Amino acid sequence: MSYYYSAREKRNPGRQAFLVEFRHPLKSESGRPGKKIRKGLGTNDATEAQRLVAELNELLQEERFWSLGARCEAERRFDPRVVDIFYSEIESKKLNSRLIRDRALPFPPHEDGYARVLLVGVPGAGKTTLLRQIIGSHPTRDKFPSTSVNRTTTFPTEVIMREGDFSAIVTFLSEHETRFELEECISRAIIEAIEGDRDNVATTFLKPSDMRFRLDYTLGEYRGSNDEEDSYDYDYPLSETNILEESADVAEGETHIIQQRLHTIIDQIIALAIKYRDKICSDLGPLDSMKPEDKNSAIDLIQEEAAISDEFVEIVGEVLEEIKSKFSLVTVGKFDKSTTGWPIAWQFDTGVEGRAYFIKSVRSFSGIAIKSWGKLLTPLVNGIRVAGPFYPAWTEKPVRLVLIDTEGLSHKASASGDIPEQIIGLFNEVDCIALVDSAKNSLTHFAAGKAMEAVVNSGQTRKLALVFTHMDAVTGDNLKGKARIDHVFGGVRNVVENQIARSVSTDLSRYLLQHLQSSTFYLGRLDAAEAVPAYPELRRLLDAFEKTAPVPFAPVAFPTYSHEKLAFAIQEAAIYFRKPWRARLNFEPMADTPPSHWQSIKALSRRYAEGWDDGFHLAPTTNLLNSLIRAISRYLETPLEWSGKPNDEEKREVIERVKSAVIKDFMLLCNRRLRELPQPQWNSAFVLKGPGSTYERRTEVEGIYERWVPIPHSGSDYGTQEFLDEVKEIVYAAVKAVSSEIEASP
């Protein structure tokens, strides 16, 4: 066995905890075996650290342990921390955080009278503000959940409205996921540092463009040379209550330390970028003299060489330790940690009298207040669930609801506007899907229309409710009373009659409009502590939420579908998916889909090569799922004939049932065909480097789509027939299952 695969313990300057550093024999980087790994040992004791590293070296010296199948044997021989350090690098990357929350704080069953409501909408629509009103959260005293002008919610916030004590469970990104996100942030900053200025490097590192993994919340606000007075920045007076209720404020004495650390990190990133820029340019020539394609390849090469360097691993390790140290600032509740000490979840319970303290404690994991930047754990959270007597003052009756607030649609800039598969997967689990939008927009945002389309294509039309906020902002001499409501609902008609009718069917559009006449709600001034004008409509909305799932009809007939038309529908779905992707890969122009940047294509390749599912803005599995749902929905809306003489309601019930039955299997199919089966090809695309690599990578990605999502035609090969048969089998199975249910019903 080569000494190449050996481990050594170390400790970062100023830190007590020991780390281990080694090259992993089953991990590669840029096509080279032996990716350097640095992970915490979960101990401050030097003797124990040496023992653990000695055990890891034993494992590294015996190749029989180098597979997941050998983990059980390794667990019998080595310390659990050693086993976790080695095998977590080759296991599935994502913890089932939903399952962790379910076990610690399960949703109450429907049998106890609870209804589940999913809140969806574009960023800034007012979803979270609406949630605050429903759960009685004061906008200045509680500030929970957090709100801002735009793009605040980046993980699901689940609220169980029940009597009794307050309880919370917060789940986090794993150490592996956090390191991955951190590597991406540093890699982007390195690319910026090749030609950008210092302040832009800091911004790229701390504030990713999708505004999700915001390191400035946890590491602090960077103060650079370009800071200047903002003419729109006013010092609004804060009440004493507001000041007292701020949690985890950064003290003046801590600000200097935070700035020192941030400037040191930026210095290290810039030095690393310059070192490898000079190295690559000494061989290839100045970047400014290169053609665009060659320049992209050179920048790609600089970033790759930097990313496999010892200095890169040092930066990642130091920042990861800094992030981990922030968990120690939380002194209440209980952390559930991995064997190496990384927090998996945090739980806290308190009595009814401790409401204010409870909310203040939870805010450490959901807050965004700038006074707390440098101490917040918000970017590391992937889900919060709270339970307790969260009741609004404007209703006196007991409320039994589970409210699920989701990340804003198109929170990540995306030309497709497709609804994330994670949200579509929740459609069948909830009793009501509340699409929230600002009355100022009235569904004009393309993602809002896409959301409505996804709901009806998934067979959930009767669960849909529209909630318009900011009704007070819809003003005009002719917009009073009913005229204001008619004006807002006009936007709904526009989407239904021009988008739903054309993309799905006119029958469905008529049914949807009729349903929404009584399932649309109009709210204003929700950001006020006492939104008195909205109370009547809020009560009507609460009554609608509390109703259980729509009572199914008892259909007396079933449709007959054309097998030939199903093949056309699958062809349509493949085209829906492939054509925009050819535009993103710059192979075929498309008016509303610009080519994606080469860095984004590379980042996508890495995510799919390594098995990550982190909500990246390029999401082939989500695109394929939405394409299949849309095309098959059109197909199911147009049966050849019906047995018996069903009325419109009975027809609608059957079609909706079949649609909802295909969703789960479609999700599995999309993940299998675009993530699991072509994973080696994704890796081949990711490791490409050198001149022409950006074009080769695009070609590799297009090849993956051509193989696994082929467009059926008269000369289709075996692979295409296999794709056709898979989709057909799912649709036929759903039709058969619903048919059997109807036949078995009395």
Q: How confident is the model at residue 241, as a pLDDT?
A: 36
Provide mean pLDDT across the span 161-182.
Answer: 93
pLDDT tens digits for range 483-515: 999 999 999 999 999 999 998 999 999 999 999
Determine the Cα–Cα distance for residues 176 and 183; give it in Å rounded to an integer: 11
Contact yes or no for 130/119 (Cβ under 8 A): yes
In 10 A of CB 481, how many CB atoms? 7
pLDDT tens digits for range 62-97: 989 998 888 999 999 999 999 999 988 877 666 689
Provide mean pLDDT across the span 134-144.
Answer: 90
270, 306, 416, 567 from 274: Cα distances, Å: 6, 10, 37, 55
Provide mean pLDDT across the span 174-193.
Answer: 92
Determine the Cα–Cα distance for residues 677 and 554; give it in Å rounded to an integer: 41
Q: How confident is the model at residue 153, as a pLDDT?
A: 64
Categorise residue 415: left if φ over 0, alpha if ψ from -120 to 50, beta otherwise.
Answer: alpha
pLDDT tens digits for range 91-122: 766 668 999 999 999 999 988 989 999 999 99
Q: How confident is the model at residue 715, as a pLDDT?
A: 81
Question: pLDDT higher for 51 or 149?
Answer: 51
Q: How confident is the model at residue 226, as a pLDDT?
A: 58
Rg, the chain, Cα only: 27
- pLDDT of 365 above 60: yes
- pLDDT of 624 above 70: yes
Provide mean pLDDT across the span 344-349.
Answer: 97
- Helix 563-584 to helix 693-708 angle (10° resolution) is 170
- pLDDT of 3 above 50: no
Share of the chain above pLDDT 70, in %: 92
Q: How confident is the model at residue 96, as a pLDDT?
A: 85
Provide mean pLDDT across the span 138-151.
Answer: 77
For residue 42, what are the contacts with CB-CB under 8 A and spacing of at least 6? 17, 81, 338, 339, 340, 341
Provide mean pLDDT across the span 28-34.
Answer: 71
Instruction: Look up residue 2 and give its amino acid.
Output: S
Q: How confident is the model at residue 532, as a pLDDT?
A: 93
- pLDDT of 164 above 80: yes
Question: pLDDT higher for 208 or 60?
Answer: 60
Provide mean pLDDT across the span 721-732.
Answer: 96
Provide mean pLDDT across the span 195-207.
Answer: 91
- Among 148-157, 170-179, 306-315, 356-365, the least confident range: 148-157
User: What are the structural domains of the chain?
Assistant: 7-87 (no CATH), 99-163+389-546 (3.40.50.300), 176-328 (no CATH), 559-744 (no CATH)
Provide mean pLDDT across the span 644-668.
Answer: 90
Provide mean pLDDT across the span 567-592.
Answer: 95
- Among 136-150, 643-657, 723-737, the least confident range: 136-150
Q: What is the mean pLDDT of the chain?
A: 88
Q: How confident is the model at residue 78, as a pLDDT?
A: 95
Instruction: Look up residue 316 and give its amino acid.
Output: V
